[in-house]
Amino acid sequence: MRFLIATLLLTASFLQPMQVFAASDDVESTIKSINQQKLVLTLEDGKTYSLPEEFNFEGLKPGQKVIVSFTTVDGKRVVDDLQLVE
């Protein structure tokens, strides 16, 4: 009986869908370039960040210091939040 219960629990654990947790990161840098058509932000370190379609580009320009909060999804850095550093 114990063997049957252990086997059922083991089988259930394999069949349970695995969750992948995406960790959010922050980076402080200066904007190198902004491509509004492709929704891409490039920072001085050369790394690119994908922006959401509803992103408001008003007031952003190269040379500004920013703090970018992002999540890495399928190897792409996707911006969750962006703040200007004054």
Q: Is 48 left (phi over 0), alpha (psi -120 to 50) or beta?
A: beta
- Taking 70 as the threshold, does the pLDDT of residue 8 lie above it? no
- Taking 80 as the threshold, does the pLDDT of residue 18 lie above it? no
* Residue-level pLDDT at 86: 81
The DSSP secondary-structure symbol of 56 reads -
The whole-angstrom separation of Cα 49 and Cα 37 is: 13
Q: What would the pLDDT profile of 22-80 be if each residue is shown by its tens digit?
A: 567 899 999 999 999 999 999 999 999 999 988 888 889 999 999 999 999 888 999 99
Q: How far is CA 34 from CA 11, 19, 38, 42, 78, in A?
A: 50, 34, 9, 6, 14
